Amino acid sequence: MDEMPKICVDRYPEEEDVVRAAEIAIQENPRNAPEDASGLSDRELALVTGKMWQNGRTLKVAFLDGPDELRPRIEEIAHQWSDHANILFDFGNHAEPDIRISFKLAGSWSYIGTDALTRPAEEPTMNYGWLTPESGESAIHRVVLHEFGHALGCIHEHQNPEGGIPWDVEKVYEFYEGEPNFWPRAQTYRNLLQRYDHSETTATEFDPESIMLYPIPQEFTIGDFEVGWNTNLSVMDREMIARMYPKG
């Protein structure tokens, strides 16, 4: 792989907001509650609660800043998720948007699903620090689809509980300890190597074509394994989001 991938860093509620985030998620969509909560503390319950919006929801989306010429491109791409899911995006100058987009912060990221509701009204819930009007169409396409996947509640595919990636763990740690990230091992583990629990996801088998998977260079893995630049919703992405937000 000629270009080392930029990593979309997971955004989580503040530590003191974890339990409140779970309460908000269950209030928004009762399907977020775990099937068996018996014996769990509030903290443990929060960690296995889903983050899906209510099925059939129209999510209000607003731009807090950023280039005017990128806005219609982002809106058009985001709507591709709605082709397969019973959920819509309403872009506009909303007083109380559910999703707030900025371009001013570092990196590209989004809070996952209903976690966006834990953030103060003046803060962004999604950021496009990599994108400019000069960005190539394929880069814009893959980044916007990826971040709106997070906004709908999708996790990173490399953290699929089914696994599937033969990581060379020490090489991954070594790379992210250096420039430009300078991540401690705990951060690398949380953002790349840690798998979600089955109870937290609607995960299927590992999907190497998923838009929720960023490139994985061969030098990060053991054996002949790498993933290139996925730019479109895969078959399994479309099936997954249709199960999360079923139509009809």
Please state whether beta strands 108-110 and 126-128 pair in parallel, antiparallel, or not at all (unpaired).
antiparallel
pLDDT tens string 35-64: 776 767 777 777 678 899 999 999 999 999
For residues 26 and 32, the answer to whether their CB atoms sit within 8 Å is yes
pLDDT in tens, 113-123: 999 999 999 99
Go through 161-190 and write b for each residue having 16 or more CB atoms within 10 A of its CB, e for each that does not. Answer: eeeebebbbeebbebbeeeeeebeeeebee
Query: Is there a contact between 154 and 241 (Cβ–Cβ < 8 Å)?
Result: yes
pLDDT category of residue 214 using cuts at 50, 70 and 90: confident
Cα dihedral across residues 97, 103, 106, 112: positive or negative: positive
Q: At 199, phi and psi to the nearest 5?
A: -70, -15
pTM of the full structure: 0.91
CA 132 to centroid of chain Cα atoms: 20
Which CATH class, in words, describes the domain spanning 15-33+54-244?
alpha beta
Instruction: Determine the pLDDT at residue 201.
Output: 55
In 3D, which of 118, 78, 73, 68 has the Cα closest to residue 98? Answer: 118
Give me the pLDDT at residue 146, please: 95
Domain boundaries, the chain: 15-33+54-244
| pLDDT 10s digits, 103-158 | 999 889 999 999 999 999 999 999 999 899 999 999 999 999 999 999 999 988 88
